[in-house]
Amino acid sequence: MNQMQRILSARRLSHSIIPQSCFLHRRWFATSETDASSPPLSSAHQKIQTLEDKASNKSRSTALTTSSLNEQELAKFSAIADTWWHSEGPFKPLHLMNPTRLAFIRSTLCRHFSKDPSSARPFEGLRLIDVGCGGGLLSEPLARLGATVTGIDAVDKNVKIARLHADMDPMTSKIEYQCTTAEKLVDEGRTFDAVLALEVIEHVANPAEFCNSLSALTIPNGATILSTINRSMRAYASAIVAAEYILQWLPKGTHEWSSFLTPEELTMILQRASIDVKEMAGFVYNPITGRWLLSDDISVNFIAYGTKK
Amino acid sequence: MSDVIVLWDRVLARQLRTNVCGSKHIFQRACSTHVTRKVSSTAGSNESNANSTGDSPQHDIAIVGGGMVGIALAASLASKPLTKHLNVAIIDNNPLLGRKNIIEKGHLPDPRVSTVTPATISFLKDIGAWKYIEEQRHAYFDKMQVWDYTGLGYTRYNAKDVDQDILGCVVENKVLQSSQLSCVQESDLQKTIYPARLNSMDMLPSSSLTGLGEVPSTADLFMRGRLAKLELSDGNNVYAKLVVGADGSKSRVRELAGIKTTGWNYSQNAIICTVEHTVENFTAWQRFLPNGPIALLPVGDKFSNIVWTMDPTEASDRRSMSEDDFIKAVNDALDYGYGPHPETTSSGGSSLSWLTGDVNISAKERFETPPKVVKLSSERMMFPLSLRHAKDYVSNRVALVGDSAHTVHPLAGQGVNLGFADASALSRAIAEGIALGTDIGEANLLKRYEAERKPANIAMMAVLDGIQKMYAVNFGPLNAFRAAAFHGAHYISPLKKRIISYASGEQSLPLFS
């Protein structure tokens, strides 16, 4: 827990240009929730072992290219690919969450690469990769912030939609989109200054392999940012029951609670992949204003920033 | 630990300033060709549209209306590091806009003045315009007296009640406009001024750009819904990602965007003029008469500004009567005309001291008569008054600021202050959007601005309209209620502090703030 506290408090000490509207300041964060919901470190260890065993069984059966993908998950996304850029469609939660994620990314990457946070294009000269880019919701703002962005997705339809939308604005038309996987890019020997995989790891069959690929894509002392949903009771209540069944924000079956990772598990997996998690933050939804805010509450959605050793 | 971080950031900021300038040029070269052509104009001259591909000029923001609020938006964008690289077009029919018109020191004050609240003064200081305003004529005031014709009560306000030095400052509108324009012209903001009127405006819904060349032309981007197209009266076509309507209560932008309004005309006209006294005036005076309030505001150097609201027939009479008669009418209206002076009650009733809280300074002040007017120093201008509010402040690639979004009664001097607050909020929303890589014409960004300003503007309009209606009726019990309201505001300190704080713009909502 001390490590968690250190990681969470790192965000509060930072000097950043995050708009005040994105913040929800909490003077303390309830460790009790994360305590109750996540198994202690030793069983997290066990959980990772079982995940790795399951995945290696699967990959042994397919035998050919090692892949951390899950075919069923791909099919789910392919079905709704046309609605990526409809801000009121099935991807509405992502549209609402996007500014908040970008605030965290802008702040951590500006600090990591020592860029001027008050510049309009702080990522000028940085090569970023958006793994699981979907329709390009994250790639386009990153390109507007000056980065050289590559977006990859395993679903071909997504990449096509992303390409069409990016071509609409001269500032984003230079984004490179490819229908490929992180593993294939590792084989090609590509590397990037910062690797981002937001809301991807919960859809992946082998999270450990996936993190290894992400790490291989990052240059030494580069940055890696992942976001996902915590495997907690609260997350079951909000992200699955509320979001999929009651509010119907997401199609039923979008998320599998058992494939969520707790922050401790994610930290350990990343550690094994030579990535040191430096900062973590949570996203909290305020139903009255309809906006997402950054906070210390990592019990449902959380985002982690780490550096490659 | 945090000090170390702050110091480190300062060191980096100095080192990176050169990098930032360098990257600005890279950005401009990487963008489509039309933007690079505008880079060379930093002095705001109206660059020719002659370019190799014959494309129409493309801007990030087109501000329609170069009045106080439109220029305030441009100046606010120019003062923020995140937005000062933007390309802004200002469209205004006035051919003198942008020319260096030096206002001579000795001239008589223009009757068109505005009272700026302390909140607006800090906004103007932030954008760097206040130093120019201080070089011109301006009048701070720290006292205010409000009373009515029944003589049953009065309220005096003093800036010391809220531990401030001033309640507000009265500045001529053209001084406000020209100082902000100087800020814009000195900044790095790429601006182009189009001296023309807006004829028509068009924006299409988004669609994909398939089947086009590598660098789509402006017309292509417009056809695919990424830009708005403005047709001007001089035949130019201007394209912009965001159109801001700052063109006043009869806004053409609002009309073309199809935004409906609600509101009503007050059956009152206002006469404004400049008058002179024998002594200097440091107080703002307002007396509610049966047909409307008369306000006397200091403008500096023994001059004051009169805003007199009355019936339309009376208004045209008073406008056409001789100067001497008019001066007599004004002095009468401010003094014994229509009713007696209120009595100064001493010590405000010690039995109520539990309610009044700590005694405020102005509660002890006696009722004073305003200084006599000796001379009329300008022509008398007349304006009809109305209340108007746009149903939406934003629409596809359009945002409204200032009077185009809301028009209010001048009785509390709030109108343009609401407009400045709008300009500040919109530029903040644009800066936040740019920080997070959003396209500035996007609906969510604009809705943030609307959600911030609409409740505050509606609340202020409701308060002002309520006051206007309360004073429009001469009815015994209501007069007594108004007298009680005067006494309450005068003696109950917490209430007085809240009133001053709300009128100064420190709070944006009258309650719950």
Taking only the tens place, the pLDDT of each residue in A165-185 is 888 788 888 999 999 999 999
Contact between chains at B26 and A124 (C-beta distance less than 8 A)? yes
How do residues A84-94 score in pLDDT, each as one tens digit?
A: 887 777 788 88
Please report which confidence band the pLDDT of residue A31 belongs to, taking 50, 70 and 90 as the band edges: very low
Contact between chains at B438 and A120 (C-beta distance less than 8 A)? no
User: How many angstroms separate the Cα of A36 from the Cα of each of A33, A234, A283, B41?
Assistant: 5, 10, 19, 62
Most confidently modeled of A4-13, A272-281, B493-502? A272-281
Chain B residues close to A109, C-beta within 8 Å:
none
The A127-131 sheet, strands edge to edge: A176-179, A148-153, A127-131, A192-198, A218-229, A301-308, A275-286, A291-295
- What is the model's pLDDT at position B140? 93
**Is residue B26 assigned to a domain?**
no
Range in A23-27, B120-124, B381-385, B398-402 with the lowest mean pLDDT? A23-27
- What is the model's pLDDT at position B300? 87
CA B155 to chain CA centroid, Å, is 26
- What is the model's pLDDT at position B46? 36
Measured between CA atoms, the residue of chain B closest to residue A119 is: B82
CATH code for position A265 = 3.40.50.150
CA angle B2, B7, B12 (to 5 degrees): 125
Q: Does A43 touch chain B (CB under 8 A)?
A: no
**Is residue A31 assigned to a domain?**
no
Number of other residues whose CB lies within 10 A of the CB of residue B282: 12
Please report which confidence band the pLDDT of residue A118 belongs to, taking 50, 70 and 90 as the band edges: confident
Decide if pLDDT at A110 tops 70: yes
How do residues B460-471 score in pLDDT, each as one tens digit?
A: 998 888 888 888
State the DSSP code for A147: -
Decide if pLDDT at B230 tops 70: yes
Question: H or E stretch including B63?
Answer: strand B58-64
Task: Dig out the tokens for B454 from the structure.
Answer: 């609409």
- Short-list A264, A251, A189, A237, CA closest to A39: A264
ipTM of the complex: 0.74
- What is the model's pLDDT at position B207? 65
CATH code for position B400 = 3.50.50.60
- What is the model's pLDDT at position A41? 44
- What is the model's pLDDT at position B20? 41
- What is the model's pLDDT at position B480? 84
Decide if pLDDT at B262 tops 60: yes
Q: Does A90 touch chain B (CB under 8 A)?
A: no
Q: Does B32 touch chain A (CB under 8 A)?
A: yes
Task: Tell me the mean pLDDT in the region B319-324.
Answer: 90
Task: Tell me the mean pLDDT in the region A118-134.
Answer: 92
Chain B residues close to A144, C-beta within 8 Å:
434, 437-439
Residue B242 structural domain: 58-206+217-343+358-504
Measured between CA atoms, the residue of chain B closest to residue A21 is: B432
Residue owning tokens 């309209």: B465
Burial of A274 per CB tally in 10 Å (0-12, 13-18, 19+)? middle
- What is the model's pLDDT at position A227? 93
- What is the model's pLDDT at position B479? 84
Measured between CA atoms, the residue of chain B closest to residue A12 is: B2
- What is the model's pLDDT at position B444? 82
Measured between CA atoms, the residue of chain B closest to residue A102 is: B436
- Return phi, psi of residue A288, to 5°: -75, -50
3-state secondary structure of B273: strand
- What is the model's pLDDT at position B274? 93
Q: Helix, strand, coil % (nearest 5) of chain B?
A: 40, 25, 35
Contact between chains at B437 and A169 (C-beta distance less than 8 A)? no
How do residues B325-367 score in pLDDT, each as one tens digit?
A: 999 999 988 888 788 888 876 554 445 555 555 666 777 788 8
- Return phi, psi of residue B259, to 5°: -90, 125
Please report which confidence band the pLDDT of residue B61 belongs to, taking 50, 70 and 90 as the band edges: very high
What is the domain count for chain A? 1
Question: Could you tell me what percent of chain B has a pLDDT over 70?
Answer: 82
Task: Tell me the mean pLDDT in the region A265-283.
Answer: 93
Q: How far apart are CA A226 and CA A214, in angstroms?
A: 10
Task: Tell me the mean pLDDT in the region B117-142.
Answer: 92
B311 CB contacts (<8 Å, ≥6 apart)?
Answer: B267, B268, B269, B291, B292
Chain B residues close to A170, C-beta within 8 Å:
31-32, 215-216, 221
pTM, 2 dp: 0.81
Three-state DSSP string of B103-116:
CCCCCCCCCCEEEE
Residue A93 structural domain: 71-230+259-308
Chain A residues close to B435, C-beta within 8 Å:
17, 19, 103, 106, 120
> Chain-wide mean pLDDT for chain A?
80
Task: Dig out the tokens for A290 from the structure.
Answer: 């309809």
Please report which confidence band the pLDDT of residue B139 belongs to, taking 50, 70 and 90 as the band edges: very high
Decide if pLDDT at B497 tops 80: yes
Decide if pLDDT at B94 tops 50: yes
**C-alpha Rg value of chain B to the nearest Å:** 25
- What is the model's pLDDT at position A42? 47
- What is the model's pLDDT at position A12? 62
Q: Does B31 touch chain A (CB under 8 A)?
A: yes
Q: Does B81 touch chain A (CB under 8 A)?
A: yes
What is the domain count for chain B? 1
The DSSP secondary structure of B316-363, one letter per residue, reads: HHHHHS-HHHHHHHHHHHHTTTTSPPPP--STT-GGGHHHH-SPPGGG
How do residues A183-226 score in pLDDT, each as one tens digit?
A: 999 999 999 999 999 999 988 889 999 999 999 999 999 999 99
**Is residue A99 assigned to a domain?**
yes
